[in-house]
Amino acid sequence: MQTKSIDTTLQMESPSPRKFKGLFSITWQKLVIWFLLVLLTVFTLTPIMYMLTASLMPARDIMKMPYRWIPRTIHSENFIKAVVGNDGSYIFLRNIFNSLIVALVCAITTVFMSALTGYGLAKFKFRGRNLLFMLIMATMMIPFEAIMIPLYMVITKLGIQNSYTGLILPFLVSAFGIFMMRQYLITFPAEFLDAARVDGMSEPGIFLRIVFPNCKPAIATLAILAFRAQWDNLLWPLLISQSEKMKTIPLYIVKFTTEMHTDEGAMMAVAAIASIPMFILFFALSKYFLGGASVYSSRKG
Amino acid sequence: MSIQKHKVKHLSVERKQAKWGVAFVVPSIVFFSLFNFYPILNALYTSFFKKKILSLNAPDFIWLENYRYLLQSSSFWNSIRATAVFTVGTFVPLLIASLLFAVLISSVKKGNKFYQMAFYSPAVLSSVVSAAIWLLIFDPRGLANQWVNVLLNSWGVDHNWLADGTMVQVSTMLVYFWKYIGYFIIIFIAGLASIPGSLYEAARIDGATGWQEFWRITFPLLKPTVVLVSIMSMLQCLKTFGIQYLFTQSGAPQGPINVITMNIYNTGIRDHRIGRASAMSIILFVIMLFFTWLQFRTSKSDSVDY
């Protein structure tokens, strides 16, 4: 019995289903799989549900011992408190706006520059091309955390700390984006390019009108990655944004949660508001999110 | 004559095209030189100086003094320990669980997409938001105590999730595990999907058991993905910052979770000791370089054809 149950539970490891040996063992196997999957689903979704429900409750209900998952009434004061802020300055709205600007600009420039460079590396032959490609790939090994202080010195020397330029400048293009675009464009049919050249189209024109519009899936994936990286970025704004006005969402959340008298409901309301753009993107474009993660698996060697 | 002329013309077209290729690549090269290569060289250079932000005195060249100081500093070794504990304690469970669940998801037909989205959804939240949520869950009156007490059948015990030195390390690992499990599951699913089903059919004809199928087919063919995921998650764990930062800002003890990035930030930005922080950055860079090199080496020797 023991060995048999081990044997059958391990059959699930083959991606294609296997013909069942017996009704009893099959149900056992399915039950175990189902149980484990539901367990992990509960684990991953509970904190998100907690955030959403707690954002609708008054603080005293959130910290009640058996947590009630269904709010008694919709306690919208949390959201008002979140937007107004503890000091009534409405700075939250400004900070959301800052995050949006930075994330959008970085996403746009990253996509465009990566596509351009990736195209140059994939479809043109020139001396030193492989060396340049290797150099760009080498930057992926430099962790941002190791260069943030010299970068900070550069930005202060340029006098653009505490500005959008300072927040955006180090993230205009990403080495990973170039790598992704190059891999994507390497299989782009050269006949299209040659046909356009014969028609007398200029090289920038070919890129803008033929290549760029034809790599939509890669663009969507990369745009999401770049947008999310900036929406999530804490460390760099921590160095660069000095005034309340130039802070981004992650900084606001840190400030808001660490203020002594912040109530828990408002804290979760802030967290929920900050997550809305990402969740909208996630549900609308889940294909590209899930695709974006798996792009990495093509990165063998 | 005409052939030669044709050849010359062809060459010039290629040369013209090559110029455009260079023109397309140059902007990014300039960017990377300014914002990646220059800063890392600058960090290396600065690490040989006793330098403070805002100080008007010329920085003193002290050669390897910063490194010598760090190697004798208990705070630095504590950061190395905290980072190592966090990294090992996070990426080993992540690796095992994501492989297991990727295999489980691939074996079910119904709800495949739902599970993928459910598991992935924490990765959508920003790390500060996740830390804020878990801050409330780990509150003495919060969900973590309630649920663990139900499981352990211990009533009213406070497990000091954020106050106890050991527990706060476990808490940061748990948050990280929760946030990234779905991400790595999806990478593994992509890896599993690339294994041709005909291999399993052949094995089944030969009478292989499920156990044998996993260890003889799935695992060896998935090895590049396993290596990739382990190195990637390891590199990510080495760079962790947001969760630890928010936890300490809200009153958790700093010592146990003072990871190396937080130490760099505090030394460089709070205490203004740029030279020492740069030396730490270079050490972090070398550690990560080592693991990247390891990835290249292992993934090259493990390349499989099927």
Which residue bears the tokens 């709010």?
A71
Least confident of A37-41, A238-242, A255-259, B180-184: A255-259
Do A42 and A150 share a domain, yes or no? no
Range of the domain at A48: 2-78
CB B183 within 8 A of CB B123: yes
- Written in H, E and C, the secondary structure of chain B is CHHHHHHHHHHHHHHHHHHHHHHHHHHHHHHHHHHHHHHHHHHHHHCCEECECCCCCCCEECCCHHHHHHHHCHHHHHHHHHHHHHHHHHHHHHHHHHHHHHHHHHHCCCCHHHHHHHHHHHHHCCHHHHHHHHHHHCCCCCHHHHHHHHHHCCCCCCCCCCCCHHHHHHHHHHHHHHHHHHHHHHHHHHHHHCCCHHHHHHHHHCCCCHHHHHHHHHHHHHHHHHHHHHHHHHHHHHCCCHHHHHHHHCCCCCHHHCCHHHHHHHHHHHCCEHHHHHHHHHHHHHHHHHHHHHHHHHHHHCCCCC
How many CB atoms lie under 10 A from the CB of residue A97?
12
Evaluate whether residue A205 is within a structural domain. Answer: yes
Cβ-defined contact of B129 to A50 (cutoff 8 Å): no
Do A100 and A175 share a domain, yes or no? yes
Segment A267-275 shows an average pLDDT of 91
Evaluate whether residue A116 is within a structural domain. Answer: yes
Do A14 and A107 share a domain, yes or no? no
Binding-face residues of A in 32-71 toward B, CB within 8 A: 33-34, 36-37, 40-41, 43-48, 50-51, 54, 62-67
Evaluate whether residue A126 is within a structural domain. Answer: yes
Evaluate whether residue A86 is within a structural domain. Answer: no
- B58 against A249, higher pLDDT: A249
Segment A118-134 shows an average pLDDT of 91
Picking from A14, A117, A150, the nearest residue to B25 by CB comes out as A117
pLDDT at A24: 54
Question: pLDDT grade, residue A26 (50/70/90)?
Answer: low
Do A129 and A64 share a domain, yes or no? no
Number of structural domains (chain A) is 2
Do A51 and A138 share a domain, yes or no? no
Average predicted confidence (pLDDT) for chain A: 84
Question: pLDDT grade, residue A3 (50/70/90)?
Answer: very low
For the domain B83-257, what is the CATH code? Answer: 1.10.3720.10
Do A31 and A174 share a domain, yes or no? no
pLDDT at A15: 46
Evaluate whether residue A117 is within a structural domain. Answer: yes
Cβ-defined contact of B38 to A154 (cutoff 8 Å): yes
pLDDT at A237: 94
Q: Which of B14, B29, B35 should be substituted to probe chain A, the one whose Cβ sees the most A Cβ atoms within 10 Å?
A: B35
Evaluate whether residue A260 is within a structural domain. Answer: yes
Do A73 and A107 share a domain, yes or no? no
Do A292 and A180 share a domain, yes or no? yes
Do A271 and A139 share a domain, yes or no? yes
Do A147 and A103 share a domain, yes or no? yes
How many CB atoms lie under 10 A from the CB of residue B138?
23
- pTM (two decimals): 0.85
Cβ-defined contact of B191 to A297 (cutoff 8 Å): yes
Do A211 and A247 share a domain, yes or no? yes
Evaluate whether residue A222 is within a structural domain. Answer: yes
Cβ-defined contact of B43 to A146 (cutoff 8 Å): yes
- Asked if residue A13 has pLDDT above 50, the reply is no
User: Which residue does chain A place closest to B268, by CA atoms?
Assistant: A149
Closest CA to B44 of B304, B275, B306, B294: B275
Q: What are the per-10-residue average pLDDT scores of chain B (306 residues)?
A: 55 80 93 93 91 76 88 93 94 92 86 88 91 89 84 81 89 94 88 83 83 83 82 86 90 90 91 90 91 75 53
Map residue A58 onto helix, strand or coil. Answer: coil
**∠ CA B148-B92-B234 to the nearest 5 degrees?**
120
pLDDT at B13: 76
Evaluate whether residue A84 is within a structural domain. Answer: no
Q: Which of chain A's residues have a Cβ under 8 Å away from the Cβ of B284?
A: 143, 145-146
Question: pLDDT grade, residue A109 (50/70/90)?
Answer: very high
Complex prediction ipTM: 0.83
- The residue ranges of every structural domain in chain B are 83-257
